[in-house]
Homo-oligomer: A and B are copies of this chain.
C-alpha cells in the first residue's frame, strides 16, 4: 500500500483513539490466539499500540493447554468434571508454576520485543485476587472463587506506564493456592478498576443464533435479553459463563463487554479502532455505548 493511503488509515482511527484515550480496557487473552505464533504476535502488537495511543490495557490470561501438557509430562493426567479441571493440591501448584512462571513471563518478554513495557503479575502479587474454594458438587478441589479484588497494584503499574499482564492464580489467607477462571477474573478486575471496556477473546465469531452458521451472529445484546436467549438455548454450553462475565461487568459499570473472535488477526484493534464492531457486544442500551 502506498504511504499516503496508509496515513489515511491512521487518520480514520483518530476518533476511536480519542474515545479511548486514558481509559482502562481489560483484555482476556485466550484460545487459538495464545497458541498460533502469528496471532500471538498480532495480539501483543495490538496491545502495545493501544498502550502507546493512551489506552490503559490490562492483559488477563489463563493457560489450560500448557497446564495439561506440563501435568502430562509430570505423569499426571488431567481430569475434567463438567468442563472444569479437577484441581488437587499438586495440580494447583503446577498451574501456578506454569501460568505465573511460563505463560505470563513469556507474554511479558513478547510485549517487550514489540516495544511494550510490561510487568507480569499473578493474583497473589499485591493481593490482587483473594480466593476461596469454589463450592461445587462434585468437589473440584482447589478451583477458586474470587472473594476479594485489590486493584492497587494494577493501578500503580498502569500509572507507571507499565502494561500489567495478570495470570489468574490466587490464594487465601493461609496461602493455599487456587486456580481461578480467567474470564471471571478479567470481569472482576474490569469492574473493580472502572474499565471502559472488557474484551473476551474466544475461538468463535461471537454469539450465534445458529451455532453452525456464522452469518447468524448477534452483534449486540442487552443484559436484559440474556435470560430469554438462555431459555431459547442460543446461549448454552461454554458460552454461558462467558456471557455471564460480560453481563456482570456491565452491571457493575463497565461500558462495553465484547466477546470477539481471537482467530482473526488484530481483532482487538478492529473492535476498538473502527466502527465495524466485531463479535457480540454486551452493553446497556441506555448507557450510550457505540
- Seen from chain A, the residues whose Cβ lies within 8 Å of a Cβ on chain B are 1, 3-15, 17-18, 21, 42, 45-46, 48-49, 52-54, 73-75, 93, 96-102, 104-105, 108-110, 112-115, 117-122, 124-127, 153, 156, 160, 162, 169, 171, 173-175, 177, 264-266, 269-270, 273-274, 276
Does A9 contact B1, Cβ atoms closer than 8 Å?
A: yes
Which chain B residue has the least Cβ–Cβ distance from A174?
Answer: B113
Known: A52-B21, A53-B53, A96-B101. A10 touches B13 (CB 8 A): yes
Does A108 contact B124, Cβ atoms closer than 8 Å?
A: yes
CB proximity of A147 to chain B, nearest CB, Å: 15
Does A126 contact B115, Cβ atoms closer than 8 Å?
A: no
C-alpha spacing A13/B124, complex, angstroms? 25
Kindly name the residue among A75, A110, A156, A174 whose own CB sees the greatest number of chain B CB atoms within 10 A. Answer: A156
C-alpha spacing A1/B12, complex, angstroms? 12
Contact residue among B97, B109, B121, B162 (Cβ-Cβ distance under 8 Å from A171):
B109
Q: Which residues from B are CB-within-8-Å of A96?
A: 101-102, 105
Q: Which residues from B are CB-within-8-Å of A119?
A: 119, 121, 125-126, 153
Contact residue among B4, B105, B114, B177 (Cβ-Cβ distance under 8 Å from A100):
B105
User: Which DSSP category, helix, strand, loop or mixed, fits chain A's interface?
Assistant: helix
Q: Which residues from B are CB-within-8-Å of A7?
A: 46, 265-266, 269-270, 273
Does B266 contact A4, Cβ atoms closer than 8 Å?
A: yes
Contact residue among B10, B45, B54, B105 (Cβ-Cβ distance under 8 Å from A54):
B54
C-alpha spacing A126/B160, complex, angstroms? 11
Known: A13-B10, A14-B114, A126-B118. A175 touches B109 (CB 8 A): yes
Kindly name the residue among A53, A74, A114 whose own CB sees the greatest number of chain B CB atoms within 10 A. Answer: A53
Known: A21-B52, A102-B96, A115-B18. A11 touches B125 (CB 8 A): no
Q: Which residues from B are CB-within-8-Å of A115?
A: 14-15, 18
Contact residue among B1, B17, B74, B266 (Cβ-Cβ distance under 8 Å from A49):
B17
CB proximity of A175 to chain B, nearest CB, Å: 5
Does A105 contact B124, Cβ atoms closer than 8 Å?
A: yes
13 contacts between A and B (CB under 8 A): A4-B270, A6-B9, A6-B12, A9-B9, A14-B45, A14-B48, A14-B49, A14-B52, A53-B53, A96-B101, A97-B98, A105-B169, A119-B125
Contact residue among B14, B46, B127, B153 (Cβ-Cβ distance under 8 Å from A11):
B46
Contact residue among B109, B171, B175, B264 (Cβ-Cβ distance under 8 Å from A4):
B264
C-alpha spacing A57/B73, complex, angstroms? 37
C-alpha spacing A97/B194, complex, angstroms? 32
CB proximity of A165 to chain B, nearest CB, Å: 9
C-alpha spacing A21/B114, complex, angstroms? 15
Does A5 contact B1, Cβ atoms closer than 8 Å?
A: yes
